Structure 1
Amino acid sequence: MYNLSPTKAIINLNNLRHNLAVIRTHLGLIDIMAVVKADAYGHGAIRIAQCLQKESVQMFAVATVAEAIKLRENGILGRILVLGAPFPEFLMAYAQYDLDLTLHDLSFLEVLQNEKHPIRIHVKIDTGMTRLGIWPEQWEEAKRIIATIPELELVGNWTHFAVSDRIGDRFTEEQVDLFSVIANKKTHLQNTAGILNQSGFLSNQIPTWARIGIGLWGFDPCEPMQEPKLLPVMKLVSKIAQVKYISRGTSVSYGRTWTAPYDTWVATVAVGYADGYIRHLSNKGWVEASGRRYRVIGKICMDMLMIEIGPTQTVAYGDEVVLWGSETLSATEVASWGQTIPYTLVTGVSHRVPREYLDE
């Protein structure tokens, strides 16, 4: 199908392979579990997983059964762990599509008592995230009950860090201390931040997997940044739809939140919050065009936004505009203007924005 959208997300699979190689230098003997939930953080789960599978990634993680089925039906052969809570009506799909299940609550073992199909179990331990998971003191009981159900295979246990992006935060060490006492033969606890800043490693064993998500897309979540070699995988671009000259005192967009302090050129860009350029960037964001940065002015509309060009017309109808993902305008910087994180930007790029894959 022809790409008839002025806005597109350019996905660089070469940068994805580069980031995978960089992350592997931090893993040592730990295998990677590629987290491709939320459509691979907006990058397109099928193409991303297919690329990673060719790079010998054999373990994937998603949030929902539906996401896992989509991967299976598009040729992903490796193990797939569903990180989200299981529900009784979905159990047949775990067996049919050979999916690994997260046990998040002891009560769900009652549902599994009469299971007639083999299911692999990863027990989620809540060591401080206070989200999904059983308490550490419930681990022995979980193991005992699982052992009495013939169709269940206990793969291992895992936990999730709350502040591993904060270097030196004692809370991560406390989580590790809680988990290390009950760590099973096969475990996974590190995320991208935990790997890059070397926090959260068990003293008594090497985890089987590290769950890597945001690092694959080129983001280092650590404060301060630990891995400068990561490259952005998504570049979001659009086009100039119109350029016009306005007089001092002319207001722009809904609510008249920006008024020209002098005579100036302004341009309308064919992208808005329905595409994923969040409204919080109104009067705060910057974009790139023709090698320069331009300020977003007025409220961002559903399908368009406006930028101030200045006293000289330096852009024209049809020119490309970079929203984020260039070497000089990162999604992390853009997210900071909107008081959010880059995860929300890339996962928020809507399905009406086509993904264009670069694969040299």
Structure 2
Amino acid sequence: MDTTAAPTTPPAHRPTATVPAGVSGCVEIDLSAISDNVRELRRRAGDAEVMAVVKADGYGHGALPAARAALAGGATWLGVAQLAEALTLRGAGVEAPMLTWLYVPGAEVEAALRADIDVTISADWQLRQVLDAARSIGSPARVHLKVDTGLARNGAFGAAWSDLVRGAAAAAAEQAIEVVGVWSHFAYADAPDHPTVRQQQERFVEAVAELEREGVHPQLRHLANSAATLTNPSAHYDLVRPGLAVYGLSPTPDLGSSADYGLREAMRLVARLSLVKDIPQGQGVSYGHSYLTDRDTRLGLVPLGYSDGIPRNASNAGPALLDGRRLTIAGRVCMDQFLLDLGPDATAEPGDEVVLFGAGALGEPTAEDWAAATGTISYEIITRVGARVPRYYVEGQG
């Protein structure tokens, strides 16, 4: 399979759903974009399998519809952080191979094993808990061992890895567990030339070799997240684990946009104006009057706020698109609303649609634009959109 960059240009058009009548705002999610993004990631992954990460409710897109769209696009695995997320997907009828990696003592490991969910082991206590669960159900547990190669987050580090390897090898010899995979996570994958990238890969190879010296030969070695999937073929191994890129956003915006990687954004956040009114020059706007009108103008009220996931520090910074014009939030973002300075000649009316973020190829503000405006990352922008904002699913023309 060709792993070079394809001269793909995401479609510049897709159907855009209007906000339903009476709804203040909504998230429109293009499931075909998710499927197409996974196809592109699969192409770039070469011979490696693709695990689509659908944690955090599918990065705000809805875990179940995102999982189904990703599988339709060629993903062969699904990944979720929390054990409860995995159980929810299984309960909804998703049968694909699935890995989970975050749980605490007392978690429902036995329920996960009964549901054919692979669990991660990062510490001796987890190995003991998984062994207890496996013995309880009377069949081997499918596990992936996680080594900390330098992120200093989840995973066994240093001597603890060696201890875990020995314990896992003994359990595998007893056929209490099946070590399906071994994995780790990059600290600087979004900066592929950073020296830690090579260091972590070298440590990962050493960790796998240590495991194999104990007689354990996992089927899957996996290290690459979205950024490494797109920029570092040497880290693809047997499986890649893209998350953000599945949803059409670039994990390395300094190196390339979504379009540069052949991806397209799956999420649009759209609202309706609830009020338009004339305001004189010199009037302070919203709490603290951090914005003053510099001429007689019209203001438009958008009925979404920080309780809906609009960052409060988007005050006087967040972009929006109204009737083809780029605008910026005027004044502070409130709990349920914010304002736009529409200009003195604006003809906008209550009910008119405002795009907060969507498809860059359509000239809309993007989640990355919002991230840049608020000093964060696009991951946070899309995952923070609250449950009060309804999701609507469409199939675009990809």
TM range (shorter): over 0.9
Is it true that 1:249 corresponds to 2:274 in the alignment? Answer: no
Instruction: Compute the displacement of 1:148 (Å).
Output: 4.8
Is 1:78 the counterpart of 2:114? The answer is: no
Contact 2:29 2:394 in 1 (8 A): yes
**Using the alignment, how far apart are the partners of 2:125 and 2:101 within structure 1?**
17
Aligned to 1:99: 117
Are the counterparts in 1 of residues 299 and 343 from structure 2 also a CA contact under 8 Å?
yes
Show the counterpart of 1:281. 314
Match of 2:223 in 1: 189
C-alpha distance in 2, partners of 1:242/1:348?
A: 25
- The 5 Å alignment of 1:196-207 reads 196-198=230-232, 201-202=234-235, 207=237
In the TM superposition, 1:317-356 aligns within 5 A as: 317-326=350-359, 327-328=362-363, 329-356=365-392
Displacement, 1:167? 2.8
Shift of 1:113: 4.2
Contact 2:190–2:251 (CA under 8 A) maintained in structure 1: yes
The one of 17, 20, 45 aligned to 2:63: 45
SS in 2 for 1:63: strand
Corresponding residue number in structure 2 for 1:90? 108
Are the structure 2 counterparts of residues 14 and 333 from structure 1 closer, same or farther at C-alpha, using a change threshold of 3 Å?
A: same
1:236, CA displacement in angstroms? 0.3
Whichever residue aligns with residue 155 of structure 1, its letter is V
Q: Which runs of 5+ in 2 are unaligned?
A: 1-19, 209-217
Secondary structure, counterpart of 2:185 in structure 1: coil
The CA RMSD measured in Å over matched residues stands at 1.8
Change in Cα spacing, 1:338 to 1:14, as seen in structure 2 (3 Å) is: same
In 1, Cα distance between equivalents of 2:88 and 2:130: 24
**Distance 1:69-1:112 versus aligned 2 partners, 3 A rule:** closer
Give the aligned partner of residue 162 of structure 1: 187
1:104-158 superposed Cα distances (whole Å, 9 cap, x missing partner): 1123323344341331110010001100111255244244333255321111210
Task: Give the distance between the partners of 2:155 and 2:124, measured in 1 at CA.
Answer: 9
Identify the match of residue 238 of structure 1 among 256, 271, 282.
271
C-alpha change, 1:357 and 1:113, in structure 2 (3 Å) is closer
**What is the CA–CA distance in structure 1 between the aligned matches of 2:47 and 2:309, rounded to whole Å?**
38
Question: Identity rate of aligned residues, in percent?
Answer: 32
Q: Give, in angstroms, the shift of residue 182 of structure 1.
A: 2.6
- Give the counterpart letter for 2:322 in structure 1: A
Q: For residue 85 of structure 1, report the CA deviation from its aligned partner.
A: 3.4
Deviation at 1:318, TM superposition (A): 0.5
Contact 2:27 2:269 (8 Å CA) reproduced: yes
Query: What is the one-letter code of the residue matched to 1:36?
Result: V
- Alignment partner of 1:119 is 2:141: yes
Q: Aligned letter for 2:32? A: N
Of 226-235 and 40-49, more deviation after overlay is shown by 226-235
Number of residue pairs matched by the alignment: 355
Q: Tell me if structure 2 keeps the 8 A contact 1:85–1:103.
A: no
Residues 1:63 and 2:94 are matched in the alignment: no
Q: TM-score, normalised by structure 2?
A: 0.85
Map of 1:173 onto structure 2: 198
| Aligned structure 1 segments of 4 or more residues deviating by more than 4 angstroms | none
SS at match of 1:161: coil
User: 1:197 is matched by which residue type in structure 2?
Assistant: T
Q: Does 1:264 align with 2:264?
A: no
Residues 329-354 of structure 1 deviation map (CA, whole Å, 9 limit, x = unaligned):
11101111000011111110111111
Distance apart, 1:174 and its partner CA:
0.3
- Asked whether the equivalents of residues 94 and 119 of structure 1 are also in contact (C-alpha less than 8 Å), the reply is no
How far apart are residue 54 of structure 1 and its match? 3.0
In structure 2, distance between residues paired with 1:93 and 1:4: 42
Map 1:203-214; keep pairs closer than 5 Å: 207-214=237-244
Give the counterpart letter for 1:108 in structure 2.
Answer: Q
Change (3 A) 1:265 1:114: closer
CA distance in 2, matches of 1:64, 1:3: 36
Instruction: State the Cα distance separating 1:299 from its structure 2 match.
Output: 0.6
Deviations 1:257-286 (A, max 9, x none): 111122111111121111111111001112
Contact preservation (8 Å) 1:11, 1:355: yes
8 Å contact kept, 2:35–2:71: no
Greater helix content: 2
Q: TM-score, normalised by structure 1?
A: 0.93
Unaligned 5+ residue runs, structure 1? none
CA deviations on 1:51-82 (whole Å, 9 max, x unpaired) are: 22333423111011211111111121011101
